[in-house]
Chains A and B, each alone.
Chain A
Amino acid sequence: MKKLKYALFTGCTAKQSTPEQMMSTLAVARKLNIELIELTEASCCGASHLQDYDDFLSLVLNARNIAYAEKHGLTMVTICNTCQLNTAMTKHRLDKNPELKAKVNEKLAEVGLEYKGTSNVIHFLYAIIDDFGLDKIKEMVVKPLSQFNIAPFYGCHNIRPSELHDESHKQKENPYKPTSLDDLIIACGGKNVDYEEKNKCCGFHVELQAPHTAAVLTGTAIAGATDNNADMMVTPCPLCHLKLDTQTKSASEAIGREVSLPVLHMQQMVGLALGCTPAELGLQHHVTDVNFI
């Protein structure tokens, strides 16, 4: 197989509150012989909030990020569901609307850039599944996670709106019965846990303005996984991870029940199965201890 090569949009949390996500992304890429060119020029995607304030500015900034991936002639890979949504949504809107694209490009021209629409934007989860292939992962597993019941937590912005995501995926994901993360768990030798909250919201985006709503959603998700015998959860989204890993106290208070489960980033799970060390994957950075290793 030709060596896979992508432009990596790290997003902001990978460099701040979830350093383990950056570490495990790079560790897994090394194991899979995937080359990642980091887009060090990229700005924040606005995390689905900037556009509430200034939609046009949000489009311009996201188009600039994609323009850098295009300069490399590479598909852009994201490692955060919300980065994926914002970037892919920008691409969708500009590709569908030549007038808007021209307006955005007028601004980008001021800094010598152009958005062409030539680079696809996909989340690393789907790069692994669609491009690398689950069968190959399966063959490479040296430490199968066979003793573990693992609850997938998909995160809204990777599965909804499905119409948008279908544009960048090779295999369609059913937002009401998603399978990608389940399949990845199985490929890593683990047992996938089915539970009602796996495709629901963690509440991250209203944590400041509606803390009770956010906490109930987090608590309900962890409780759902726990009640279905999960030993741990796994998610492709660092924002979900932050919520599920660091906010268990408020979540427990909100639902009136003590809940807490170790939560892995999707990359950490793959890394463990491929034989990476816990330290390489940054497990020491979790607030809820990952004590099963």
Chain B
Amino acid sequence: MSAEKITTQKVNFKVFRFNADEDYLPYYENYTLDVTSEDVVLDVLNKIKWEHDGSFSYRRSCRHGICGACAIKVNGRSTLACKESMTTMIEYFGNDITLEPLSTKRAVKDMIIDKGDFWEKHAAVTPYLVADIDECPSCENLVSPHDAEELNEADLCIQCGACHYACPVVEINSDFFGPAAFAAAYRFEADVRDNDGDRLINVNEEKQGVWDCVKCFECAEVCPKEINPIEKITKLHQMAFKRGVAKNNVATRHAVGFLHSIKKHGVLDEGGLVLYSEGAHIVKHIPVALQMFRKGKIVMPWNMPKSDNLDEIQKLIKSSSTVKF
């Protein structure tokens, strides 16, 4: 235990309440509670249930940050209730704290949500090892420490769903697998023993796949286990190119287009990139392009700026490229 003295302060909580069986609409209940410097968010949930309203509902099991059951949102920030210190939350947000489920629209009862879409997507990425292993092997299937490092700790995910419900694309595109499912897909794609050929193709498909990630880093920010799902998404992009399963479509051309542009100009040729990525579909961009042109926002090909010492850049591209498309 720390030698520091335990302090107590009053905190105002605004707590999301809803019972899908009885209520038409959710509402918020206010509680002012004494919070000690030792409390985690789960202690607050317990206080509400034990001291104020026995019907207040939330999930928890391990109280050690390993079961993933207790994830909720504190002032819009997803977190594990059993791991998050209230002192940190007060430092972050002051003494007015709002407690909500990970996704209010999926609420079943108070903090408890229907995580069905999360599990469906998890299941859709083949989240297990696919390997032809001798039923009675003469020795274990060894994985070297070096190969194990390739997982980049993706195997530490506890499926709490914090990243999934913080991801803006999950809310807009219902097909999108979401950051946790991608992290799971990566975990097995990066495993040297795995030989499933379809998973990587599946997570690279348009609509559901990694290419629709907007790169907002919400998932990296939020993950209580520091899995950094967007890093795994980036690696799934790279794997698709390296293993030759990247399809020739607008998303992949958009990534590769940067290389072509940099090779030619050092800087990005914005118009050239759109043309290369879209091909004939470029026509749909013409109305906006015309507006931009009128406002002096389009540089003509003959006026394209170039980086100084372009020869250096070209030389480096030649010597440092590691992928071919």
A interface list, Cβ under 8 A from B: 12-13, 15-19, 40-44, 46-57, 60-61, 64, 107-108, 110-111, 113, 156-157, 160-162, 174-177, 196, 200-201, 203-206, 208-210, 212-214, 216-217, 246-247, 249-250, 284-287
Q: CB distance A52 to B267 under 8 Å?
A: no
A209:B211 contact, CB within 8 angstroms: yes
Residue of B nearest to A156 (CB): B216
Q: Is the CB of A54 within 8 A of B297?
A: no
Given contacts A53-B255, A213-B172, contact A17 B214 (CB under 8 A): no
Q: Tell me the nearest residue of chain B to A160, going by C-beta.
A: B217
Complex interface: chain B residues within 8 A of A214 (CB):
214
Interface of B is mostly: helix
Asked whether, in the complex, the Cβ of B172 is within 8 Å of the Cβ of A212, the reply is: yes
Residues 198-229 (chain B) with a chain A CB within 8 angstroms:
206, 211-218, 220-221, 228
Q: Is the CB of B251 within 8 A of A209?
A: yes
Q: Are B261 and A44 touching (Cβ within 8 A)?
A: yes
Residues on B with C-beta less than 8 A from A201 are: 168, 214, 216, 218
Chain B interface residues toward A at CB < 8 A: 75-77, 92-93, 168-169, 172-173, 206, 211-218, 220-221, 228, 234, 237-238, 241, 249-252, 254-256, 258-259, 261-262, 266-268, 270, 274, 277-278, 287-288, 291-292, 295-299, 305, 307-309, 312-313, 315-317, 319-323, 325
**Which of A18, A49, A56, A201 has the most chain B CB atoms inside 10 A of its CB?**
A49
Contact B217 A161 (CB under 8 A): yes
Q: Which of A46, A54, A157 has the most CB of B within 10 A?
A: A54
Contacting pair B218 A160 (CB below 8 A):
yes
Task: Find chain B residues with CB under 8 A from A41 CB.
Answer: 307-309, 312
Q: How far is the CA of A156 from the CA of B221 in the complex (A)?
A: 11
**Nearest A residue to B94 by beta-carbon distance?**
A177
Q: Which residues of B contact A56 (CB under 8 A)?
A: 320, 322
The residue from A18, A55, A249 contacting B297, defined by CB atoms under 8 A apart:
A18
A136 to B180, CA, bound (A): 45
The answer to whether B212 touches A57, judged by C-beta atoms less than 8 angstroms apart, is: no
- Which of A42, A176, A214, A249: most chain B CB closer than 10 A? A176
Q: Say yes or no: A43-B313 contact (C-beta < 8 A), given A15-B267, A160-B217.
A: yes
Task: Determine if B295 and A43 form an interchain contact, defined as CB atoms under 8 angstroms apart.
Answer: no
Q: Would you call B315 and A208 a contact (CB within 8 A)?
A: no
User: Judging by beta carbons under 8 Å apart, are B299 and A15 in contact?
Assistant: yes
Question: Taking the nearest CB of chain A, how far is it from the CB of B241, in angstroms?
Answer: 6
Q: A15-B299, A208-B277 are in contact. Are A177 and B217 (CB under 8 A)?
A: no
Count of CB-CB pairs between chains A and B under 8 Å: 201
CB < 8 Å neighbour of A160 from B93, B220, B266, B297? B220
Q: Are B168 and A54 in contact (CB under 8 A)?
A: no
B254 x A208 contact (CB < 8 A): yes
C-alpha gap A44/B268 in the complex (Å): 6
Neighbouring B residues of A160 by C-beta, 8 Å: 216-218, 220-221
Contact A43 B214 (CB under 8 A): no
A246 to B290, CA, bound (A): 11
Chain B residues near A111: list those with CB within 8 A.
309, 312, 315-316
Q: Please determine whether A176 and B75 come into contact, CB atoms closer than 8 angstroms.
A: yes
Q: Kindly provide the distance from the CB of A54 to the nearest chain B CB, expressed in whole angstroms.
A: 5
Whether B298 lies near A206 (C-beta < 8 A) is: no
Contact A200 B168 (CB under 8 A): yes
Would you give the shortest CB distance from B144 to chain A, in whole angstroms?
A: 17
* Partner among B214, B270, B316 whose Cβ is within 8 Å of the Cβ of A12: B270
Asked whether, in the complex, the Cβ of B317 is within 8 Å of the Cβ of A210, the reply is no
B251 with A246: CB separation less than 8 A? no
Say yes or no: A19-B297 contact (C-beta < 8 A), given A41-B307, A42-B307, A107-B316.
yes
Jot down 15 A-B pairs with beta carbons below 8 A, ordered by A. Answer: A15-B299, A16-B297, A16-B305, A18-B297, A44-B266, A50-B255, A53-B256, A60-B316, A107-B316, A176-B76, A176-B92, A205-B214, A208-B277, A210-B214, A216-B172
Which 5 pairs from chain A and chain B are nearest by CB? A160-B217, A52-B237, A201-B216, A209-B251, A12-B268
Contact of B251 with A47 in the complex, beta carbons under 8 Å = no
Residue of A nearest to B171 (CB): A216
